[in-house]
């Protein structure tokens, strides 16, 4: 019984991380149709910020966390301004390939100017301690992660439903031309979308760094690939779909960890993606894909 | 069709000329470089068949190349070598060896079957979904290569593959593949596929079975990629999992995008420009001494350059250098 509860908490924590990342991808995609492959490098920017602070002997956890998040948000907005603006109204393939190129440039810049080897970051280890929750042994990090994701989902919902800008962003996902016609500045909508996306990447960065304790140029790739898969399963462009997809992926992953024999450990991702592929045969457009209605732009 | 043949002939002249020039004037080192460029040309052409005509970004092409290379390598390597390199191979894989032609045919058949199975999922997805799933395919195949060390030797070298191919054979092969890719583009299926990329609903309304034509292109693309992998294995003599992963995906994708993915000419042009351009970047990367100044080593420069090529092409000329024009369109009147 305790074992099952423990695995459920594991699945929730994994799912929370994927949901956090998938939301960051989905919010940008829903507005400008951009598949942001450079999301992983935003995470790496946060990680390298921690390295820089470490080099400056700044160990105050609040400063470390805040600057990593701010750096990720700043990097995200800068990418929008300089890399993605030229392809803003282009078709999704053009945007996707641009993002792919941007991701490649950033990875190689880290490699070129910092180091191709992993650098240890120890300033966030304090976030991780064992907790005894009603007789079940869990890690504090897992609780923080699940809690933070729940908080983010609520905050994002309030923002998207209660503020003018949030409503404009939801409208922009349906018909951007109309949003511009009623006098909302396009630049502001895009900037805020990337700001939120960067914020989510920054938060995810903190949990990823606290767990792995090191940063390297390719660190963002694996989590973001999972987040992409979560988006596809949930329905690309749908925010609830991104969250649902993230938690499904987390559950499948933990199930594989539990069920697969030890010697197949290296094949875990292969099995996870295989199961996801079966889900996609059932719903090729994802589970919660926005329905195309009469009059929508296709 | 006739114009297509004319275009194939023009491209072939260039490809053969480069091959002949290298054979007569190049050193062994140059020969290897040019051979590598031709292998990449086969990959880019294979990529173009699906990605260029269906306009769905595919990121799994290096995986199919790897499958072709490994299957051919396992079939063709003599038992004596495999007894040393793969002592624990299951299913008696180390107890037989075949001649190069049957090995190649088996490799092509197996890749085609795997491509068909994956294609059944890919062709039904929307464009973005297909791209992400193709990325997952790349990761899955790579982890199988790494994990089944008893068959593929993972990151270690799979050695002892007899050298079957020479520069001449790959030049002939590349001319043949240019012909296949171009004829597919101009065929009924190719036209239907391009129409569905331009206007999915319109093509469907005109009676195009989109899933079917996409699947045909996907499988043909897989077959051409396996041929590229076979050519790679049959010349180098050793293969490992690493060359069939991200760096190679980036490289060949940049080639196709720069030249223009919609045309076969674009695929060839992009490959030639980047293959020769990148060699000079690699030379700078190693930190050479220029005019008495010792330049520093800059690892990662070639990656930055490739990324910049993609971003700049997308920003200023999203359809690539050639756009919708094949080579003969530049010379003949429409």
Tokens of A113: 């100017």
Positive or negative CA dihedral for B33, A117, A22, A265? positive
8 Å CB contact of B304 and A231: no
Tell me which residue has tokens 């990656």: B303
Q: Is residue A244 part of a domain?
A: no
Residue B331 has pLDDT above 80, yes or no: no
8 Å CB contact of B257 and A286: no
Q: Which residues of A touch B120 (CB under 8 A)?
A: 281
Q: Is residue A96 part of a domain?
A: yes
A32 burial (CB, 10 Å; 0-12 / 13-18 / 19+) is: buried
8 Å CB contact of A112 and B301: yes
Q: Which residues of B touch A35 (CB under 8 A)?
A: 128, 131-132
**pLDDT at residue number B297:** 66
Separation between Cα atoms, residue B170 and residue B190, nearest integer Å: 25
**Least confident span in A95-109, B8-22, B55-69, B284-298:** B284-298
8 Å CB contact of B140 and A96: no
Q: Label the pairing between strands B293-294 and B289-290.
A: antiparallel
What residues have CB less than 8 Å from B125, skipping those under 6 apart? A232, A280, A284, A285, B133
**pLDDT at residue number B334:** 66
8 Å CB contact of A96 and B131: yes
**Smallest Cα distance from B9 to chain A, Å:** 31
Q: Which of A108, A225, A265, A291 to mutate to test the interface with B (most CBs of B within 10 A)?
A: A108
Please give the angle made by the CA atoms of A254, A257 and A261, to the nearest 5 degrees.
155
Q: How crowded is residue B101: how many other Cβ atoms within 10 Å of its Cβ?
A: 10
**Smallest Cα distance from A166 to chain B, Å:** 25
**Smallest Cα distance from B168 to chain A, Å:** 34
Phi, psi of B153 (to 5 degrees): 65, 10
Tokens of A261: 């024999």
Query: What is the total count of domains within chain A?
Result: 1
What are the mean pLDDT values of chain A's consecutive 10-residue runs (298 residues total)? 81 89 89 86 90 80 88 92 84 84 89 83 76 76 87 90 87 81 85 92 89 84 86 84 90 85 74 80 74 53
**Smallest Cα distance from B172 to chain A, Å:** 32
8 Å CB contact of A105 and B311: yes
**Smallest Cα distance from B299 to chain A, Å:** 6
**pLDDT at residue number A171:** 85
Tokens of B315: 């920003």
Residue A121, classed as helix, strand or coil, is: coil
Phi, psi of A28 (to 5 degrees): -70, -40
The domain of A13 spans: 2-218
**Pick from A96, A228, A274: CB nearest B57:** A96
Is B307 an interface residue toward A (CB < 8 Å)?
Answer: yes
ipTM at complex level? 0.79
Separation between Cα atoms, residue B244 and residue B64, nearest integer Å: 8
**Pick from B120, B132, B315: CB nearest A228:** B132
Tokens of B60: 């799994």
**Pick from A87, A96, A112: CB nearest B315:** A87
**pLDDT at residue number A298:** 45
Dump pLDDT digits (tens) for B286-304. Answer: 766 666 666 666 677 888 8
Hey, which residues 71-130 in chain B have their CB within 8 Å of chain A?
120-121, 124-129
**pLDDT at residue number A200:** 93
Give me the total of CB pairs closer than 8 Å, taking one residue from chain A and one from chain B: 136
**Pick from B139, B200, B307: CB nearest A225:** B139
**pLDDT at residue number A132:** 76
The distance between the two most distant Cα atoms of chain B, rounded to a whole number of Å, is: 67
Q: Is residue A233 part of a domain?
A: no
**Least confident span in A129-143, B110-124, B161-175, B176-190:** A129-143
A192: left (phi over 0), alpha (psi -120 to 50) or beta: alpha
Q: Is residue A229 part of a domain?
A: no
Hey, which residues 145-204 in chain A have their CB within 8 Å of chain B?
none
Separation between Cα atoms, residue B221 and residue B224, nearest integer Å: 5
The answer to whether the beta carbons of residues B254 and B310 sit under 8 Å apart is yes
**pLDDT at residue number B75:** 85
Q: Is residue A199 part of a domain?
A: yes
Separation between Cα atoms, residue A114 and residue B307, nearest integer Å: 18
Residue B148 has pLDDT above 60, yes or no: yes
Is B213 an interface residue toward A (CB < 8 Å)?
Answer: no
- More confident site: B25 or A293: B25
């Amino acid at each position: 019984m305790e074992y099952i509860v423990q695995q459920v908490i594991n699945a929730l924590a994994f799912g929370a991380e994927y949901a956090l990342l998938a939301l960051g991808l989905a919010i940008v995609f829903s507005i400008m149709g951009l598949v942001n492959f450079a999301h992983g490098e935003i995470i790496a920017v946060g990680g390298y910020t921690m390295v820089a602070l470490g080099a400056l002997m700044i160990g105050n956890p609040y400063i470390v966390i805040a600057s990593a998040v701010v750096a990720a948000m700043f990097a995200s907005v800068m990418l929008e301004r300089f890399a993605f603006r030229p392809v803003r109204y282009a078709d999704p393939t053009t945007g996707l390939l641009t993002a792919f190129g941007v991701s490649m440039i950033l990875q190689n810049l880290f490699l070129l100017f910092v180091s191709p080897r992993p650098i240890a970051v120890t300033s966030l280890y304090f976030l991780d301690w064992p907790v005894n929750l009603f007789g079940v042994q869990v890690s504090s990090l897992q609780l923080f992660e699940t809690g933070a994701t729940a908080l983010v989902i609520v905050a994002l919902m309030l923002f998207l439903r209660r503020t003018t800008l949030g409503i404009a962003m939801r409208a922009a996902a349906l018909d951007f031309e109309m949003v511009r016609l009623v006098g909302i500045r396009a630049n502001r909508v895009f900037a805020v979308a990337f700001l939120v996306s960067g914020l989510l990447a920054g938060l995810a960065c903190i949990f990823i760094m606290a767990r792995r304790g090191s940063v390297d140029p390719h660190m963002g790739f694996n989590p973001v690939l999972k987040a992409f898969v979560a988006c596809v399963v949930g329905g690309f462009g749908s925010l609830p779909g991104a969250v649902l997809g993230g938690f499904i992926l987390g559950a499948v992953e933990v199930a594989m960890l539990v069920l697969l024999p030890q010697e197949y450990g290296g094949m875990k991702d292969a099995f996870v993606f295989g199961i996801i592929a079966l889900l996609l045969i059932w719903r090729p457009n994802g589970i919660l894909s926005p329905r195309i209605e009469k009059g929508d732009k296709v | 069709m006739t114009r297509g043949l004319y275009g194939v002939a023009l491209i072939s002249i260039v490809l053969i000329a480069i091959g002949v020039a290298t054979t007569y004037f190049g050193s062994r080192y140059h020969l290897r470089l040019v051979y590598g460029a031709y292998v990449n040309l086969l990959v880019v052409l294979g990529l173009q068949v699906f990605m260029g005509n269906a306009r769905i970004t595919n990121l799994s092409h290096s995986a199919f190349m790897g499958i072709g290379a490994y299957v051919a390598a396992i079939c063709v390597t003599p038992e004596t070598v495999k007894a040393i390199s793969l002592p624990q191979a299951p299913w008696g894989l180390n107890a037989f060896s075949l001649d190069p032609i049957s090995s190649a045919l088996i490799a092509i058949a197996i890749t085609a079957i795997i491509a068909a199975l994956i294609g059944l999922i890919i062709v039904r997805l929307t464009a973005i979904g297909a791209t992400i799933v193709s990325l997952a395919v790349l990761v899955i195949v790579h982890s199988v290569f790494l994990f089944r060390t008893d068959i593929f030797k993972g990151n270690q070298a799979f050695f002892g593959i007899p050298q079957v191919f020479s520069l001449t054979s790959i030049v002939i092969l590349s001319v043949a593949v240019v012909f296949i890719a171009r004829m597919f583009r101009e065929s009924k299926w190719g036209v239907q596929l391009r129409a569905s990329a331009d206007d999915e609903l319109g093509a469907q309304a005109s009676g195009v079975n989109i899933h079917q034509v996409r699947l045909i292109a996907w499988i043909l693309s897989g077959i051409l990629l396996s041929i590229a992998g076979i050519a790679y294995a049959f010349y180098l003599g050793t293969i490992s999992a690493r060359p069939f992963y991200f760096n190679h995906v980036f490289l060949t994708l940049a080639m196709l995008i720069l030249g223009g993915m919609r045309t076969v000419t674009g695929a060839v042009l992009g490959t030639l420009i980047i293959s020769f351009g990148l060699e000079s970047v690699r030379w700078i990367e190693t930190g050479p001494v220029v005019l008495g100044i010792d330049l520093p080593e800059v690892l990662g420069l070639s990656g930055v350059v490739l990324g910049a090529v993609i971003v700049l092409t997308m920003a200023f000329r999203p359809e690539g250098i050639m756009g919708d024009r094949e080579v003969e369109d530049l010379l003949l009147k429409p």
